[in-house]
Amino acid sequence: GDSVTQMEGPVTLSEEAFLTINCTYTATGYPSLFWYVQYPGEGLQLLLKATKADDKGSNKGFEATYRKETTSFHLEKGSVQVSDSAVYFCAHWFEGRAGGTSYGKLTFGQGTILTVHP
């Protein structure tokens, strides 16, 4: 079935370090891919997205490229800040039909806790 696998955490970095959080997926077809961020005590927020192969999503210094050949969507940031400390979720959205019914579903990875120290 469809699934999303993220790099195990937690990840602890010093401020200004380079960040990579790996994400790979399995899906039938070509899903849209997302990274969500959950700050302490808050709901999930969309960080960035990519809807087709080779698309690069970017926001707040974070980037991720939709790699169809490796079924990956790794999140990167060149220089993290303390304020980036949060839980990051990779996800894919897939729309399909089953039994005459159309459906859409967002499937999440397990989440990666990022802590950035000053």
Residues lying near other proteins in the complex (CB under 8 A) are found at: 36, 41-46, 49, 89, 93, 103-111, 113
Least Å from the CB of residue 12 to other proteins: 15
Tracing tokens 């709901």 back to the chain, one arrives at: 43
Nearer to other proteins, 100 or 118 (CB): 100
CA torsion sign for 16, 47, 45, 107 is: negative
Least Å from the CB of residue 90 to other proteins: 10
Nearer to other proteins, 48 or 116 (CB): 48
Nearer to other proteins, 4 or 19 (CB): 4
Burial class (CB in 10 A: 0-12, 13-18, 19+), 45: exposed
With H, G, I as helix, E, B as strand and everything else as coil, classify residue 30.
Answer: coil
CA-derived radius of gyration, the chain: 15
Burial class (CB in 10 A: 0-12, 13-18, 19+), 95: exposed
Nearer to other proteins, 8 or 15 (CB): 8
Least Å from the CB of residue 5 to other proteins: 10
Least Å from the CB of residue 78 to other proteins: 25
